[in-house]
Amino acid sequence: MWPSYVINLAANTVRMGNASAQLESQGIPFQRIDAVNGWALSQAEINRVYDVSANSSRARHDLVPAEIGCYLSHIEAWRTIADGDAPGGFIFEDDFEGDETLASVLVALCQDNGSDWDMVKLFTFDPTAKTVAERDLTPGLRLVVPFRVPTCLIGYGLTRAAARQLVDRSVPFFRPVDEDQKYFWETGLRVALILPAPIKVGDQQTVTGTIGTARREAAKGGFGRLWRGFRTQLAYQLALRWHRFRGVK
């Protein structure tokens, strides 16, 4: 079994307890990754990793500190996998909820060993979304290449080489970490998805606040904000179709 890692802010003990109980119940060993609290970062620390100029021209919205901390937390998980001895690893955010198939899915992916994928997602909000390729991983379990890489990094696997590739290109960043992975032609990673997905979004309670709440509170700009979102989404859709047309997987 490749190692598993759970990203968790120290203050969110309930979330960590839920994640631990789920993994331990299925015999999945794991290591906790101490998440970065974006609200505790100094402006100098933020400036070192966050490209404001690229964000303004190429992202849907300004990043809030929680999103910056989230990105840095995933980078730490990637670095741990990249520096490890295993061929890959699995990363979970601490609000996941796994079903009874999770352990067997992870075993099957370890045996598959990233033969035609670099990253494999264990969750999607749209299980019926269009795919460009698929194959059976095990009886009843499909490994698909989604036409549009789903948002959300609540649970996913990475080969060690892919983890190193993400670490090396990650800073400075300007989009949320989950949105960055949608731009597979930029990351250079082959992103796959497991269906049916073995995890879903679980308990969202937190003592540190959620990214969604922080983003809503920071939303401003009226028409300018709406235009920025439309412009960014249009550019993404055009680029996605172009790269899929060229056969990039």
CATH number (domain holding residue 164): 3.90.550.10
The distance of Cα 213 from the centroid of its chain, to the nearest Å, equals 19
Domain coverage including residue 238? 4-245
* Residue 216 reports pLDDT greater than 60: no
Measured CA to CA, the distance from residue 77 to residue 82 in angstroms comes to: 9
Residue 206's nearest CA partner among 6, 2, 13 is 13
Q: How confident is the prediction for the chain on average, in pLDDT?
A: 93
Residue ranges of E strands in 123-246:
131-138, 141-146, 155-159, 191-195, 199-201
Q: Is the pLDDT of residue 197 over 80?
A: yes
pLDDT at residue 209 is higher than 70: no
Structure confidence at residue 170 (pLDDT): 96
> Is pLDDT above 60 for 218?
no
5 bridge partner residues? 31, 91
Helix and strand totals (H; E) in the chain: 10, 10
The count of domains in the chain is 1
> pLDDT category, 114, cuts 50, 70, 90?
confident
CB atoms within 10 A of CB 13: 12
Average of pLDDT values for 62-90? 97
Paired with 146 in beta bridges are: 131
Q: Is the pLDDT of residue 211 over 70?
A: no
Residue 86 and residue 14 in contact, taking contact as beta carbons nearer than 8 Å: no
User: Which are the contacts of 28, defined by CB distance < 8 A and separation ≥ 6?
Assistant: 1, 4, 102, 103, 106
- pTM above 0.95? no
pLDDT above 70 for 212: no
Distance (Å, rounded) from C-alpha 113 to C-alpha 220? Answer: 45
pLDDT of residue 91: 98
The yes-or-no verdict on residue 48 having pLDDT over 70 is yes
Question: What is each CA distance from 137 to 68, 81, 105, 111, 115, in whole angstroms?
Answer: 35, 23, 9, 10, 11
Using 50, 70 and 90 to split pLDDT, how confident is the model at 235?
A: very high
Give pLDDT, residue 203. Answer: 78
**Per-residue pLDDT band at 247 (split at 50, 70, 90):** confident
Residues with Cβ within 8 Å of residue 194, at least 6 apart in sequence? 105, 109, 120, 121, 122, 137, 141, 142, 143, 144
CA 169 – CA 175 distance, rounded (Å): 13
- Please classify residue 166 by burial: count the beta carbons closer than 10 Å to its beta carbon, then call 0-12 exposed, 13-18 middle and 19+ buried: buried
The strand pairing partners of 96, in sequence order, are 201
**Which among 81, 122, 75 is positioned nearest to 101, based on CA atoms?**
122
